[in-house]
Structure 1
Amino acid sequence: MTAGRRQSLFKRVESWAFHAYWNRISAMSLDEASNAGARFARTLGPITSAHKTARYNMRLAFPRITPQEEREMLDAMWDNLGRVVGEFPHLASMGLFTPESRADFDGLDILDRYVGTGQAGVFISGHFANWEVMPAAIVRRGVDCRVTYRPANNIWVDDTIVQARADYGVRLFAPKGPSGGVSLMRILAKGGSVAMMNDQKYETGVEAPFFGHMCKTADGPSRLAYRFKAPLQTMTVKRLGGVKFKVEVQEPMMMDFDASVDDAVHASVLRINRFMEETILKAPEQWFWVHARWPKKAWMDAGVMD
């Protein structure tokens, strides 16, 4: 069998397994799916390579963490991530902004500044709790916003994920290369907003400290905000227990538009990383620790590897 055929077969098997799980949790109620996802992830997660990545990242961020604290945080992290997966097919039934809403909100007056006013904003956040609640809240509130995302490697899996997001009103956009950047600028130029995650590794980004260790951070959101003199609008979500959340909309970050673009962007990236740190510290078990946020050299230099 050629390498191409093996790859195709693997993706088909991967898609079959994904959709078997997806169909099963889709048939459950929202709470049942969330609980099932938590049980599944707490069982499977610790035997994956992602578990080791999360462990090293936690040790890097919290050098004084005890073995017991580490075990508890890892278990709680898998509980949260499993719930995210379980809740994904049910996001349209979260009832946001209704009496049955699964989320409470602080700062809606800030979010409303972007509704029907022509005010463009660059929304930024991180992978906190169930991060899918944030874009759902943005669009359900009436903000004209396109949400950027990284497509799944498997096209059949990606199609299902895109459709699930479309079911609760989120229009996704995967910017690729220069043309993708131009498209984002066109959206902002017309008074629309864009939303991005700004807490993951970005190879061509700005080198900046994160929990005291240098790593690459995406500078695209800051460059877009600088170009259009737009606010960097932060939002966060925290899981209060089960399928109940608290969404906060903070006063936006305004860049120094009188400074040079490189100076302003660097200062902005530093502020964004501090914002991410502060949010993570409020509920560290609810962040996406399984991502290789720091380079392996940082792990080695800090002596966190087993």
Structure 2
Amino acid sequence: MLGRLGFATLVALLRVFSVLPYGLVARFGSVLGTMLYALPSSRKHIVLVNLRLCFPGKSDAEYEVLARNHFRHVIRSYVERGVQWFGSEKSIRNLVQIESRIDLEEKHAVPTIFLGFHFVSVEVGCILYSTQLPAASLYTRMSNARMCDLAKRQRGRFGAEMVERSTSARKIVGLLRSGIPVMLAADMDHGIQNSVFVPFFGVPACTLTSVSRLARLAGARVVPFVTEVLPDYRGYKLTIFEPFSGFPSESETLDARRMNEFLETQIRKCPEQYYWVHRRFKNRPPGVPGVY
């Protein structure tokens, strides 16, 4: 549990990181990640289990390299929360390239769900969007109240409305119908309620069906986006793709499978940047043994 002194120290460090050169902070995060990977940890175990399930057939050495590179990205992303949470609007704009395949300035656009995925730099993409256009963003409450309040406040500091995931669907639909895009992610295991088991890299994964239901209720299009870390410490790139066609379909299961298939394609481009430290296969189909 992070106490008051520890929390104050963390905030102070993040503020320091926000004013240091980005390249220096990013390199520090990478080195710290390499050092932490050398220590035994439950998260390291989770990463290796996920990689072995999703990318079968690699050698032990290949899994180690991929897992180590992932740890570097994860720890680096925590360090880079400094600029993401406390950096100026100008500094964030300078760090993030944006490529959109839809017209973000379109007037009278249909209600829009921006579907994100848990790549290590997903936050900075959401924050950049909120500096330019109104938006609401769903979040999951953290166990540490201080950290939760800090994250909520800093993620929404440019005007994004932060909406807790457990809120009523009626409020989210109301936002969508009022013309405010809603940013959400549905690629983590939040339990079997309102979820279905569909393949993720060939492994049954408990996948939320809320995107389909919200899109149907609000008459919304679903627009996927991905934020990736650029090489050579050059910042990030936010790519906003075309809306899913024919989505939602008549089957929430088919829709969930389609989301996972799209995500698989994006992960293969930069597998070390996906959030493998999450227990993606925490819940298993009946009769199937646990993996962690």
TM-score range (shorter-chain normalised) is 0.7 to 0.9
> Normalization by structure 2: what TM-score?
0.86
Q: Counterpart in 2 of 1:123?
A: 114
Q: Counterpart in 1 of 2:267?
A: 280
Asked whether the 8 Å contact 1:111–1:138 carries over to 2, the reply is no
CA positional deviation for 1:109 = 4.1
Asked whether the 8 Å contact 1:38–1:83 carries over to 2, the reply is yes
Matched, 1:190 2:182: no
Asked whether the 8 Å contact 1:34–1:82 carries over to 2, the reply is no
CA positional deviation for 1:111 = 3.0
Unaligned runs of 5+ in 1: 1-9
Asked whether the 8 Å contact 2:119–2:273 carries over to 1, the reply is yes
One-letter amino acid matched to 2:255: S
Aligned pairs for 1:207-226 within 5 A:
207-226=197-216
In structure 1, C-alpha distance between the alignment counterparts of 2:247 and 2:101, rounded to whole Å? 25
1:204-251 CA deviation, whole Å, 9 max, x = no partner? 212111100111101111211122221111011111122511221111
SS in 2 for 1:73: helix
Matched, 1:22 2:11: yes
Q: Counterpart in 2 of 1:35?
A: 27
Asked whether the 8 Å contact 1:226–1:255 carries over to 2, the reply is no
Aligned pairs for 1:7-18 within 5 A:
10-12=1-3, 15-18=4-7
CA positional deviation for 1:302 = 9.6
Q: 1:65 to 1:16 in 2, by over 3 A?
A: farther
Asked whether the 8 Å contact 1:112–1:141 carries over to 2, the reply is no
Matched, 1:180 2:173: no
> Normalization by structure 1: what TM-score?
0.83
State the identity %. 21
SS in 2 for 1:226: helix
Matched, 1:93 2:81: no
Aligned residues: 282
In structure 1, C-alpha distance between the alignment counterparts of 2:41 and 2:6, rounded to whole Å? 17
CA positional deviation for 1:139 = 1.5
Q: 1:67 to 1:22 in 2, by over 3 A?
A: farther
In structure 1, C-alpha distance between the alignment counterparts of 2:24 and 2:71, rounded to whole Å? 17
What RMSD over aligned residues (CA atoms) do the two structures have, in Å? 2.6
1:3-46 CA deviation, whole Å, 9 max, x = no partner? xxxxxxx452xx53344233124213133333333332332244
Q: Counterpart in 2 of 1:7?
A: none
CA positional deviation for 1:303 = 10
One-letter amino acid matched to 1:20: T
Matched, 1:56 2:56: no
Q: 1:18 to 1:68 in 2, by over 3 A?
A: farther
One-letter amino acid matched to 2:35: T
Q: Counterpart in 2 of 1:3?
A: none
Matched, 1:158 2:148: yes
Q: Counterpart in 2 of 1:295?
A: 282
Asked whether the 8 Å contact 1:107–1:250 carries over to 2, the reply is yes
CA positional deviation for 1:189 = 2.3
Stretch deviating more after TM superposition (101-110 or 285-294): 101-110
One-letter amino acid matched to 1:238: E
Q: Counterpart in 2 of 1:246?
A: 237
